[in-house]
Amino acid sequence: MSNTIFRRRTALLTATFAAAASLALTACGTSQDSAAKNTPTVAADNGVSSTATPKTDAGDTKAEASGTDAAVTSKSVGGSTTAKGSSGSKSTSSIVTCTGANTKVTAQTVSRPLNHLLLTVKNTGSKTCYLYGYPALNFQDAQSVPPVDEDTQPQAVTTLSPGQSGYAGALLSAADGSGSGGYTAKTLSVIFQNRALDFVGSGVKVALPSKGVYIDSSLTTTYWLTNPSDALN
């Protein structure tokens, strides 16, 4: 009888321990499952958050870089602008100004209109040159360069191919004698303008009639023109 009771108690205790162990294992498993579920979630959140931020930053950085590249590309296509600028520079460097070094300047008096002088500039060089603005006429003993008649300004710069000529006219004195300070000048120098319309150099000496020309305060000149008739009219 005692043995039977002992075996029953032992079995009951064993069952109790087994149940407790099972419950403990279940609780542990639940806790581990819960922890396992929570851990990936946090890791996932952290992962998304940590990964998303760099992606966003990288994306923004990439976008900014792309924008910069676009700007650079645009500038380099402005490189096409630069290229144009370069070709423009080449064009600019290929522009030749008409000067005493590549032209021959002559002057002659004309019967009509009265008291006029015709200046002729012939391109003696091998390249096309540009006659900018108007000539500065430096007559003997003149106190200043005579003014230009603004009504004679051409719409485009007078351009001379090799062998071609350009012209300017000068009103030497008033036909009605209204000018003042008149005298006879026997020497003349013609000074050219550059592209910036500055007068450069000391001028080219131009032969005048041996008796000279009479000038007074009415002295004016025209712009450089392509037609001698326009220069005299």
Please give the biggest Cα pair distance in the chain: 170
How confident is the chain (233 residues) per 10-residue block, as mean pLDDT? Answer: 48 48 44 43 34 37 34 30 39 80 96 95 97 96 91 96 98 92 96 95 93 95 97 93
The verdict on 56 and 145 lying in the same domain is no
Q: Which residue, of 94, 115, 146, is where some domain finishes?
A: 94
The verdict on 186 and 80 lying in the same domain is no
Query: Domain residues for 57?
Result: 1-94
pLDDT score for 40: 36
pLDDT score for 79: 34
Q: Which residue, of 36, 61, 94, is where some domain finishes?
A: 94
The verdict on 4 and 22 lying in the same domain is yes
- Number of domains composing the chain: 2
The verdict on 47 and 120 lying in the same domain is no
89, burial (CB in 10 Å: exposed 0-12, middle 13-18, buried 19+): exposed
CA 36 to chain centre: 67
> pTM of the prediction?
0.60
Owner of token pair 């390249």: 127
